[in-house]
């Protein structure tokens, strides 16, 4: 059984095309999966979203996001929303000259 999981893991990592971000996200995605059947489901979804042996990191990222519980999805979206607000405030403050004392 372990050898089947190792073979499956190698196939999925090979499908990532050597992209470190894709491998890390895939690792996080399967880290809480228990058993060969759950890993097979991840592999199926991975292969379903990747065509002609070309990888789209966004496919793996969306698999990882879609696998999150609803509460964590909401938390993730709030963080993205507030990050945009903070970034726009920082740009505004910089443009108004309010941050000059911080970087001089």
Domain locations along the chain: 1-67, 69-104
Nearest partner of 30 among 17, 18, 13, judged by Cα: 13
Work out the percent of the chain whose per-residue pLDDT is above 90.
Answer: 0
Average pLDDT, stretch 88-96? 77
What is the model's pLDDT at position 34? 84
Are residues 42 and 12 in contact, defined by beta-carbon separation less than 8 angstroms?
yes
CB-CB neighbours of 36 under 10 Å: 13
Residue 24's pLDDT is: 80
pLDDT value, residue 31: 82
Stretch 72-90: mean pLDDT:
78
């Amino acid at each position: 059984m372990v050898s089947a999981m190792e073979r499956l893991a190698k196939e999925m990592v090979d499908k990532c095309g050597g992209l470190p971000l894709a491998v890390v996200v895939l690792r996080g995605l399967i880290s809480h999966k228990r058993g060969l059947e759950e890993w097979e489901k991840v592999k199926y979804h991975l292969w379903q979203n990747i065509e002609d042996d070309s990888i789209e990191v966004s496919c793996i990222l969306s698999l990882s996001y879609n696998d999150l519980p609803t509460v964590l999805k909401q938390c993730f979206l709030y963080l993205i929303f507030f990050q945009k607000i903070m970034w726009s405030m920082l740009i505004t403050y910089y443009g108004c000259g309010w941050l000059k004392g911080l970087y001089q």
